[in-house]
Structure 1
């Protein structure tokens, strides 16, 4: 009877692992397998519980760090990242308060916002600091910075 219970517990954790993203319950399925084997050997309730807890803990301690390392969602660079650090020209004044501003970057027009609250007039060269949503965050390029580029 106990073996059937442990088999059910193992199947429950295995199915739970299969329907979730990432490793969440596989260690408990391994612990239940150990308890199932212990029950099959005719050992009592407490040895079964002890084997379940120890095997689950050991599996968790060994597998989780590796799983976190391998299953970590990483940053995927996009083509839009190419514009970070580039210099472009303001085609419509960048005004954060009015929610306006367009910048031409290598032939592509982007919505833009200023790093600070200052208004950047049309025709001013700007450098892209980062992308926030679908807008580039820019700062004016001074004459000294233009020479350095």
Structure 2
């Protein structure tokens, strides 16, 4: 059974290297724990339990930390960078009339208010809540 656990460790590490997205490193840790349990002479039930428990513990306790600190340097792209940004309206935003525009980073965007009854006048500022298709959904600030 050692060969199976070694093969799984290698496979999970190859997948991790290929994806570089913290996808399977946790499974490799679980397989390593199962290999250790197998080398201690315990049966397959204990090996599978070690695999599942260690994988879960690694996922639960280290993945949030790893994503926060290891992926912190990733640059938001395109629309993701607009969320939370404060923008100035260049055209009256009225969902019922289907009007509204703003220039963000040199590009003109169609803008809609979060609530249909909200009106933003040219010069008003809004915060981008989300992007739906090619429209920015904003709330007045």
- TM-score, scaled to structure 2: 0.56
Q: Structure 1 residues 50 and 22 mapped into 2: Cα distance closer, same or farther (>3 Å)?
A: same
Distance 1:133-1:36 versus aligned 2 partners, 3 A rule:
farther
Aligned-pair Cα RMSD in Å: 3.5
Specify which of 131, 134, 149 is matched with residue 107 of structure 2: 134
1:67 CA drift (Å):
2.0
Which structure 1 residue ranges, 5 or more long, are not aligned?
A: 86-112, 119-127, 142-149
Does the 8 Å CA contact 1:114/1:137 hold for their aligned counterparts?
no
Aligned equivalent of 2:49: 50
User: What are the equivalent positions in structure 2 for 1:32-47 lying under 5 Å apart?
Assistant: 32-47=31-46
Matched residue SS, 2:104: strand
1:59 equivalent to 2:58? Answer: yes
Residue-pair matches, total: 100
